[in-house]
């Protein structure tokens, strides 16, 4: 059976199973998918399948940046009945996983464990509420979520003792209309399926305007599964061919000038495997000449979320579901600009930001919950830990933090060996506090080693996440927001940036290193570490050493099985002056390898200039 067309909310009945005096499980359930994205989409539908003694999952293509199809067992002894587990590679990129449970187990639970194993340690940030689904293709709206439950077309929602199993239900209308929703406790939202939304009514032209449910055009289409459709695997080279996203024989296809790379289904789904097949392209031009509705809009949003550089001129009215920011970006860059590797990557970063924030599953469901009148939980707070021995750099660093956008920020300022009463420190602190953001000041003893001062600062932080900040480096206003995005789509315990830009102060020279980003990798800059509180506790914090505390922390994370992810470094410039660094390497380290060099201070456009330092020290930024 095709799980994409089986309605969520309709149980699959098997003759001779589940009745009185009959076995409670079938012998075998096998799920075959083309990609891990398809497998995540099937989790919600698999909840309608019967229990099985033998479960087999096969995925035809798993990109290299994902792990093998080895499941992560649940944490409450649900698998004590497991008899045998097999994982094997099939062909070059395929995997098969089999499990045997004599007493039977649920297919959805097993699929969830398998996709979690392929993605790494963390499951990612939750929404704080449970979503229910009804209708064909509903799995695309909440992929990989074991908490997603099917609901009858008219309700009511199933109860777990005295609590509904869902807080809000999304119903998909196939064009015939939906019955009155009868559940007075759980709200329901209605959307058309991709086919029904663009099916012309009787007596209207073939390309009729879409039917809509919901006030926001962005929220009318299914979201992008950011856990798999994301920038992971992005290539910084700019020498590949250009692709064209266009219509051929009524279908949306991606053409590279010689052959069709991919054919997009009617609902616009782009998978992790599809992205992997187009990573060598310099970019993709979007052809808006024919109204294909959801297929084109969702495909463009998915490619943008994956970091594929897109160009396409003005976006037509029928594609308003892309959102204003993403639409403007598509017409902001011409094809010839993508020949420059730096400009190409900058454009890619802007696209992925807009697409992930507007079309990611988490963002979509938070918007749906707000539309349904639910109280949406606040975003996690980031505690920025700033430890410094230099009073003159406090105002410079606080000004960098103050301009951060897209993140809820608290600052813990550790003054290492000097008091907060120094005039330049007091004025800088007062100017930062005037912004209204919380600030905690800690005066550390001068003879305390650096790693111990960091731990003292972390102990005074109240945020869910802890970000390390260097006092003399330059940070773009989206620095923390980019790290939060990377944390969401990577499932990593620690995220940071690649080392791209360095300003050599003694030579008045800016150096850019060509380095790969968007990958699991422990090689991140220490001044960009963003870590979950849980992983800090697991490794015991930072080692009480005077230097190399960042690299030692990252090694410790690896030893406890944590995952470190490296995102782009275009919004950051490392300052290298003559002295005062805990990382002792000579200037030759920064000048070697594949680098670009410019006289003077020349950052990426994503840094967006430099703010004036707080406290009146206008020379601190030089």
Each residue's pLDDT tens digit, 543-595: 999 989 999 999 999 999 899 999 999 999 999 876 554 555 566 666 766 67
- Bridge partners, 387 (sequence order): 414
User: Is the model's pLDDT at 617 over the cut of 60?
Assistant: no
Stretch among 166-180, 341-355, 434-448 having the lowest mean pLDDT: 166-180
Q: In angstroms, rounded to a whole number, what is the distance separating the alpha carbons of residues 182 and 41?
A: 28
Q: If you search the block for the tokens 């879409």, which residue do you land on?
A: 210
Mean pLDDT of 508-536: 92
User: Is the model's pLDDT at 204 over the cut of 50?
Assistant: no
- For residue 212, the model assigns a pLDDT of 58
The sign of the torsion formed by the CA atoms of 114, 119, 121, 124 equals: negative
The two tokens of residue 416 are 């290492």
Residue ranges, CATH 3.90.550.10, the chain: 381-616
Cα torsion through 260, 264, 270, 275, rounded to 10: 0
Predicted confidence (pLDDT) per residue in 481-507, tens digit: 999 999 999 989 999 999 999 999 989
- For residue 127, the model assigns a pLDDT of 83
User: Is the model's pLDDT at 201 over the cut of 90?
Assistant: no
CA dist 162 to 25, 66, 158, 165, 185, Å? Answer: 28, 40, 10, 10, 12
- For residue 578, the model assigns a pLDDT of 60
Q: In angstroms, rounded to a whole number, what is the distance separating the alpha carbons of residues 1 and 49?
A: 11
- For residue 197, the model assigns a pLDDT of 67
User: Is the model's pLDDT at 155 over the cut of 50?
Assistant: yes
Higher pLDDT, 386 or 594: 386
How, if at all, do strands 474-475 and 163-164 pair?
A: unpaired
- For residue 433, the model assigns a pLDDT of 96
- For residue 198, the model assigns a pLDDT of 63
Predicted confidence (pLDDT) per residue in 444-461, tens digit: 999 999 999 999 999 999
Q: If you search the block for the tokens 């080692």, which residue do you land on?
A: 543
Model confidence at 202, pLDDT cuts 50, 70, 90, reads very low
Mean pLDDT of 611-619: 77
Q: Which one is the CATH code of 381-616: 3.60.130.10, 3.40.50.11540, 3.90.550.10, 3.10.110.10?
A: 3.90.550.10
Q: In angstroms, rounded to a whole number, what is the distance separating the alpha carbons of residues 30 and 97?
A: 10
User: Is the model's pLDDT at 246 over the cut of 70?
Assistant: yes
DSSP H or E run through 486: helix 479-490
Cis ω for the linkage preceding 509 (within 30 of 0): no
């Amino acid at each position: 059976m095709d799980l994409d067309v089986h309605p969520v909310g309709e149980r699959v009945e098997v003759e001779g199973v589940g009745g009185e005096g009959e076995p409670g499980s079938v012998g075998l359930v096998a799920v075959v998918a083309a990609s891990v994205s398809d497998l995540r989409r099937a989790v919600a539908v698999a909840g309608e399948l019967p229990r099985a003694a033998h479960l087999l999952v096969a995925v035809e293509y798993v990109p290299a940046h994902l792990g093998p199809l080895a499941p992560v067992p649940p944490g409450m002894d649900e698998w004590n009945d497991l008899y045998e587990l097999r994982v094997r590679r099939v062909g070059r990129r395929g995997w098969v996983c089999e499990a045997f449970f004599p007493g039977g187990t649920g297919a959805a639970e097993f699929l969830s464990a398998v996709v979690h194993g392929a993605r790494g340690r963390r499951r990612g940030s939750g929404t704080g509420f449970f979503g229910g689904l009804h209708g064909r293709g509903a799995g695309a709206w909440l992929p990989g979520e074991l908490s997603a439950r099917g609901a009858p077309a008219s309700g009511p929602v199933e109860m777990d003792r005295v609590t509904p199993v869902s807080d809000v239900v999304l119903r998909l209308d196939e064009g015939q209309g939906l019955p009155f929703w009868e559940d007075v406790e759980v709200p329901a939202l209605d959307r058309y399926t991709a086919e029904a939304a663009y099916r012309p009514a009787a007596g209207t032209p073939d390309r009729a305007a879409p039917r809509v449910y919901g006030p926001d055009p962005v929220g009318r289409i299914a979201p992008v599964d950011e856990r798999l459709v994301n920038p992971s695997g992005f290539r910084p080279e700019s020498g590949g061919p250009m692709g064209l996203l266009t219509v051929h024989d009524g279908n949306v296809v991606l053409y590279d000038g010689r052959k069709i790379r991919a054919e997009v289904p009617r609902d616009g789904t782009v998978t992790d495997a599809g992205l992997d097949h187009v990573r060598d392209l310099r970019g993709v031009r979007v052809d808006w000449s024919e109204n294909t509705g959801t297929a084109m809009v969702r495909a463009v949003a998915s490619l943008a979320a994956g970091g594929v550089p897109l160009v396409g001129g003005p976006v037509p009215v029928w594609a308003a579901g892309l959102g204003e920011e993403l639409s403007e970006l598509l017409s902001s860059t011409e094809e010839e600009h993508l020949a420059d590797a730096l400009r190409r990557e900058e454009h890619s970063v802007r696209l992925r930001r807009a697409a992930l924030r507007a079309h990611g599953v988490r963002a979509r469901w938070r918007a749906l919950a707000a539309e349904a009148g639910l109280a949406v939980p606040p975003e996690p707070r980031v505690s920025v830990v700033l430890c410094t021995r230099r009073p003159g750099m406090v105002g410079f660093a606080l000004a960098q933090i103050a301009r951060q956008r897209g993140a809820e920020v608290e600052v813990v300022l550790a003054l290492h060996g000097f008091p907060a009463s120094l005039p330049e420190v007091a004025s800088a602190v007062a100017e930062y506090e005037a912004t209204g953001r919380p600030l905690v000041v800690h005066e550390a003893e001068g003879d305390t080693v650096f790693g111990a001062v960091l731990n003292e600062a972390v102990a005074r932080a109240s945020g869910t996440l802890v970000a390390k900040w260097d006092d003399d480096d330059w940070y773009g206003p989206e620095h923390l927001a980019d790290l939060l995005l990377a944390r969401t789509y990577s499932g990593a315990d620690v995220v940071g940036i690649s080392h791209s830009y360095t300003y050599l102060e003694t030579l008045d020279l800016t150096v850019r290193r060509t380095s790969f980003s968007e990958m699991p990798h422990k090689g991140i800059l220490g001044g960009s570490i963003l870590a979950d509180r849980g992983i800090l506790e697991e490794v015991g914090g930072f080692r009480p050493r005077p230097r190399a505390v960042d690299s030692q922390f990252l090694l410790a994370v690896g030893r406890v099985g944590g995952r470190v992810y490296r995102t782009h470094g275009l919004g950051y410039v490392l300052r290298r002056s003559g002295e005062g660094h805990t990382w002792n390497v000579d200037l030759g380290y920064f000048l070697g390898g594949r680098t670009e060099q410019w006289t003077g201070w020349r950052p990426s456009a994503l840094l967006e200039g430099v703010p004036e330092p707080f406290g009146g020290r206008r020379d601190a930024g030089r």
